[in-house]
């Protein structure tokens, strides 16, 4: 039975029932009884059923579940992701585009009767705290219990979400998902921004099917933000509490799997802890930001949980993220330790379980398995490199007390970054918002396993939003510039960081993880106007000695710090030449509307480089 009197919701659900023809329709109210029953049902499926989930050791991992996707369905699929706007120009050069009518016509037969013999679940959810003026409502229809259970962690799911919508509003995002046959040739993740609609079919992997996340909170929301005067960004949000008690909020955009979750949950080095610094997590992936009454930019995390990459997560690299996964979490495509029915992944520790099940489901001796060199020249992996945990934010030991604040938190600094072996120094600050917008447009990074495709290739990823901008990238840059004008001198300061710079032998020079606090410290002091900087051709850089290396002097010697902060003019000239090529060939020549002010930035940087 419907959970709302809203005729817009009910009419749309009726239409989707008529299209997909489920045997049964279940509205998800979010109650514990309902979720427990669904968990029982999905865990009772027979071995070998592709929807099956497993209860893990309930003493060691209470409330935790395990799931394996099909081996061809393990990451976001950017080549199967579409933005369907009335014209190709509106979608711009960074998106796959298709005419909406044509796409509806192509997908309708795929959805026709697809839920016969299945149950349809109708999931109301809120992105953002219920009651927040920044929050938005979505409804996801799915035939997957895995999706329901994950949405329960990632969003504020259930009947209460409809309270925000009321009985008449039409302002909700319509998401239709069917796991269908998981046929990769017919896999589609499609956004129709003008219709507030998402259609996803033939995948059962998180990023493609938890429609509140990338599809809504970034692709659709970026389009809504442009029209409504706010920003939807691929950014973590953290708060740094200083010894004087004040909390400074920072957002940061890095391409997928570049350590956003690690930075968001950072544990400061001993010296900082002793001095009274603390870090609080507001979000690890997405920020929605809007000017507040005082003219500053305020951010909320629209999500309610973390969908983190498991491999590499351990007590040292991210103690807090690991703690998040110890109860009520869902693990996808990690390995099982059959000795005690717990989970394992590469980098959890150095002891692969002997009695293991690898991510595709084969029982193996984990020690032997991981000592075999695979076709890629690397040891075989028990867990898929993009295996994930879905964990409630409430589990996070350092979750911000402001996590549910409907107003959000005021942002003092915005950071961009990526994986760059050379050229980009450890940290620098833009001269102003326009220059900062240019720096965002120039983000590029060596690719990771979060999306399908080659790993380790340098790709442009403006604002870390390349796969997530729901409209023309040039108009998105123009929107950034407009927001800067609106915010004026209250705008956050914009910085760029690179934790991944390498020396001439290919070794990382910066320890990263908790030590990134040292860079945040400099950034905060710059925001507060407490510290001078060197004016260089590319921006403001720390003066010698201004990055605190107390406790890591052996590793980060003055020579290493010089290299970390070096601005090599020849490399930067090449960088600007590449940016001109990128703007022209990849963006402007392909229908991207690049604002004049950004072209002008290239001239300015080039002039400064001499
Ligand atoms: C993610 C991604 O899953 O960016 O967060 O790919
Ligand atoms: Mn992400």
With 90 as the cut, is the pLDDT of residue 141 above it? Answer: yes
Instruction: Give the distance (Å) from ligand 2 centre to CA of residue 553.
Output: 33
Q: Residue 3: left (phi > 0), alpha (psi -120 to 50), or beta?
A: alpha
| 257 pLDDT tier (thresholds 50, 70, 90) | confident
With 70 as the cut, is the pLDDT of residue 453 above it? Answer: no
- Residue 75 CA: nearest ligand 1 atom is 6
Ligand 1 atom 3 nearest Cα: 207
| 268 pLDDT tier (thresholds 50, 70, 90) | very high
Q: Residue 287: left (phi > 0), alpha (psi -120 to 50), or beta?
A: beta
- Residue 207 CA: nearest ligand 1 atom is 3
Domain 309-393 fold:
Phosphoenolpyruvate Carboxykinase; domain 2 (2.170.8)
- Residue 234 CA: nearest ligand 1 atom is 4
The stretch 251-256 carries a mean pLDDT of: 94
| 62 pLDDT tier (thresholds 50, 70, 90) | very high
| 318 pLDDT tier (thresholds 50, 70, 90) | very high
Instruction: Give the distance (Å) from ligand 1 centre to CA of residue 200.
Output: 17
The span from the CA of 136 to the CA of 129, in Å, is 9
The span from the CA of 450 to the CA of 278, in Å, is 30
With 70 as the cut, is the pLDDT of residue 156 above it? Answer: yes
For the chain, first and last CA: distance in Å? 70
The stretch 11-29 carries a mean pLDDT of: 98
Question: Beta-carbon neighbour count of residue 568 at 10 Å?
Answer: 13
Instruction: Give the distance (Å) from ligand 1 centre to CA of residue 23.
Output: 33
* 0.95 exceeded by pTM: yes
Residues within a 6 A CB radius of ligand 1: 76, 207, 256, 285, 307, 450
Least confident of 63-67, 128-132, 447-451, 534-538: 447-451
Which of 256, 455, 463 most suits a substitution to test ligand 1, by most atoms within 8 Å of the C-beta?
256
The span from the CA of 247 to the CA of 250, in Å, is 10
The stretch 532-550 carries a mean pLDDT of: 98
For 392-445, give the DSSP string: EGGG-TTB-TTTT-TT-EEEEEEEEE---SSSS-SEEE-SSHHHHHHHHHT-EE
Three-state secondary structure readout of 272-291: HHHHCCEEEEEECCCEEEEE
Query: Residue 484 has what pLDDT?
Result: 98
- Residue 260 CA: nearest ligand 1 atom is 5
Q: Write down the CATH number for the domain with range 7-51+77-229.
A: 3.40.449.10
- Residue 285 CA: nearest ligand 1 atom is 5
Tokens of 52: 């099956």
Query: Residue 450 has what pLDDT?
Result: 63
Tokens of 420: 């760059």
Instruction: Give the distance (Å) from ligand 1 centre to CA of residue 81.
Output: 14
Mean pLDDT of the chain: 96
Percent of the chain residues past pLDDT 70, beyond the cut: 99
Ligand 1 atom 2 nearest Cα: 256
Domain 233-305+401-605 fold:
Phosphoenolpyruvate Carboxykinase; domain 3 (3.90.228)
With 80 as the cut, is the pLDDT of residue 538 above it? Answer: yes
The catalytic residues are 258
Which of 69, 75, 76 most suits a substitution to test ligand 1, by most atoms within 8 Å of the C-beta?
76
Query: Residue 258 has what pLDDT?
Result: 86
pLDDT digits 0-9 by tens, 196-216? 999 999 999 998 999 999 999
Rounded to 5°, angle at Cα 234 from 63 and 201: 65
Q: At what angle do helices 473-487 and 433-441 cross, to 10 degrees?
A: 160
Rounded to whole angstroms, what are the CA distances from 520 to 247, 266, 409, 427, 559? Answer: 13, 11, 17, 10, 21
- Smallest Cα–Cα separation from 460: which of 473, 441, 475, 436? 441
- Residue 309 CA: nearest ligand 1 atom is 3
The span from the CA of 452 to the CA of 160, in Å, is 36
Ligand 1 atom 4 nearest Cα: 256
In the chain, CATH 3.90.228.20 covers 233-305+401-605
For 141-172, give the DSSP string: EES-HHHHHHHHHHSEESTHHHHHHTTT---E
Given a contact cutoff of 8 angstroms between Cβ atoms, the answer to whether 97 and 83 are in contact is yes
| 447 pLDDT tier (thresholds 50, 70, 90) | confident
In the chain, CATH 2.170.8.10 covers 309-393
Query: Residue 525 has what pLDDT?
Result: 98
| 290 pLDDT tier (thresholds 50, 70, 90) | very high
| 605 pLDDT tier (thresholds 50, 70, 90) | very high
Ligand 1 atom 1 nearest Cα: 256
Tokens of 222: 């970026």
Instruction: Give the distance (Å) from ligand 1 centre to CA of residue 450.
Output: 6
Instruction: Give the distance (Å) from ligand 2 centre to CA of residue 597.
Output: 28
Instruction: Give the distance (Å) from ligand 1 centre to CA of residue 536.
Output: 33
The stretch 150-154 carries a mean pLDDT of: 98
- Smallest Cα–Cα separation from 392: which of 308, 333, 335, 310? 308
| 454 pLDDT tier (thresholds 50, 70, 90) | low
Residue found by looking up tokens 């010089």 in the block: 562
The stretch 433-446 carries a mean pLDDT of: 96
| 457 pLDDT tier (thresholds 50, 70, 90) | confident
Which of 207, 210, 283, 452 most suits a substitution to test ligand 1, by most atoms within 8 Å of the C-beta?
207
With 70 as the cut, is the pLDDT of residue 291 above it? Answer: yes
- Smallest Cα–Cα separation from 330: which of 394, 393, 261, 390? 390
pLDDT digits 0-9 by tens, 479-524? 999 999 999 999 999 999 999 999 999 899 999 999 999 999 999 9
Query: Residue 425 has what pLDDT?
Result: 98
Residue found by looking up tokens 């030449």 in the block: 577
Three-class DSSP category at 253 = strand
Query: Residue 411 has what pLDDT?
Result: 99
The stretch 467-471 carries a mean pLDDT of: 98
In the chain, CATH 3.40.449.10 covers 7-51+77-229
Instruction: Give the distance (Å) from ligand 2 centre to CA of residue 386.
Output: 12
Q: Which ligand is nearest to the CA of 386?
A: 1
With 90 as the cut, is the pLDDT of residue 164 above it? Answer: no
Contacts by 271-278, CB closer than 8 A, 24 or more apart: 271/548, 271/550, 271/551, 272/517, 272/521, 275/243, 276/241, 276/242, 276/243, 277/240, 277/241, 277/242, 277/243, 277/517, 277/521, 278/240, 278/241, 278/398
Which of 206, 214, 452 most suits a substitution to test ligand 1, by most atoms within 8 Å of the C-beta?
214
177-186, 251-260, 324-333, range with greatest mean pLDDT: 324-333
- Smallest Cα–Cα separation from 284: which of 312, 255, 307? 307
């Amino acid at each position: 039975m419907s959970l709302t009197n809203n005729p817009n919701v009910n009419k749309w659900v009726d239409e989707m029932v008529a299209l997909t023809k489920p045997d049964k329709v279940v509205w998800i109210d979010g109650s514990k009884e309902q979720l427990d029953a669904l968990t029982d049902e999905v865990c009772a499926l027979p071995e070998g059923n592709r929807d099956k989930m497993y209860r893990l050791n309930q003493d060691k991992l209470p409330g935790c579940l395990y799931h394996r996707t099909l081996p061809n369905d393990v990451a976001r699929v950017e080549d199967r992701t579409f933005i369907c706007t009335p014209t190709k120009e509106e979608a711009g050069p960074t998106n796959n585009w298709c005419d909406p009518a044509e796409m509806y016509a192509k997908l309708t037969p795929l959805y026709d009767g697809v839920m016969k013999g299945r149950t349809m679940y109708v999931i109301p959810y809120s992105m953002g705290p219920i009651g927040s003026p920044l929050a938005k409502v979505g409804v996801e229809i799915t035939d997957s219990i895995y999706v329901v259970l994950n949405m329960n962690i990632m969003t504020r799911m259930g009947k209460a979400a409809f309270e925000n919508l009321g009985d008449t509003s039409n302002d909700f995002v319509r998401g239709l998902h069917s796991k269908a046959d998981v046929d990769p040739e017919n896999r589609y993740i499609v956004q129709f921004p003008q219709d507030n609609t998402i259609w996803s079919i033939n995948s059962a992997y998180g990023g493609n099917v938890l429609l509140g996340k990338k599809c809504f909170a970034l692709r659709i929301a970026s389009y809504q933000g442009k029209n409504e005067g706010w920003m939807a960004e691929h950014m973590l949000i953290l708060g740094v509490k200083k010894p004087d008690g004040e909390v400074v909020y920072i957002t940061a955009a890095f391409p997928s799997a570049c350590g956003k979750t690690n930075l968001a949950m950072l544990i400061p080095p001993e010296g900082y802890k002793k001095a009274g610094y603390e870090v609080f997590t507001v979000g690890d992936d997405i920020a929605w930001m809007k000017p507040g009454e005082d003219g500053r930019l305020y951010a909320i995390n629209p999500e309610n949980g973390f969908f983190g990459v498991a491999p590499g997560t351990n007590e040292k690299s991210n103690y807090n993220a690991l703690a998040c996964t110890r109860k009520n979490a869902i693990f996808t495509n990690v390995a099982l330790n059959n000795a005690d029915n717990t989970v394992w992944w590469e980098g959890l520790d150095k002891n692969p379980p002997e009695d293991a099940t690898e991510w595709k489901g084969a029982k193996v001796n984990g020690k032997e398995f991981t000592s075999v060199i695979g076709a890629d020249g690397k040891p075989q992996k028990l867990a898929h490199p993009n295996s994930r945990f879905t964990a409630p934010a409430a589990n996070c030991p350092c979750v911000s007390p402001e996590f549910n604040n409907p107003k959000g938190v005021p942002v003092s600094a915005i950071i961009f970054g990526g994986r760059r072996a050379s050229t980009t120094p450890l940290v620098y600050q833009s001269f102003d918002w326009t220059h900062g917008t240019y720096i965002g447009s120039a983000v590029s990074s060596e690719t990771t396993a979060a999306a399908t495709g080659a790993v380790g290739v340098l790709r442009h990823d403006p604002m870390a939003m390349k796969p997530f901008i729901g409209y023309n990238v040039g108009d998105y840059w123009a929107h950034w510039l407009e927001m800067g004008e609106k915010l004026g001198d209250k705008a956050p300061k914009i910085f760029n960081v690179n934790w991944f710079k390498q020396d001439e032998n290919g070794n990382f020079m910066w320890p990263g993880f908790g030590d990134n606090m040292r860079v945040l410290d400099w950034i905060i002091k710059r925001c507060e106007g407490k510290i001078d900087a060197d004016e260089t051709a590319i921006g403001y850089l720390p003066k010698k000695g201004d990055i605190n290396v107390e406790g890591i002097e052996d590793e980060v010697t003055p020579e290493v710090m010089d290299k970390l902060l070096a601005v090599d003019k020849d490399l930067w000239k090449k960088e600007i030449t590449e940016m001109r090529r990128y703007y022209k060939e990849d963006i402007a020549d392909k229908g991207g509307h690049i604002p004049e002010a950004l072209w002008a930035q290239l001239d300015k940087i080039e002039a400064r480089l001499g």
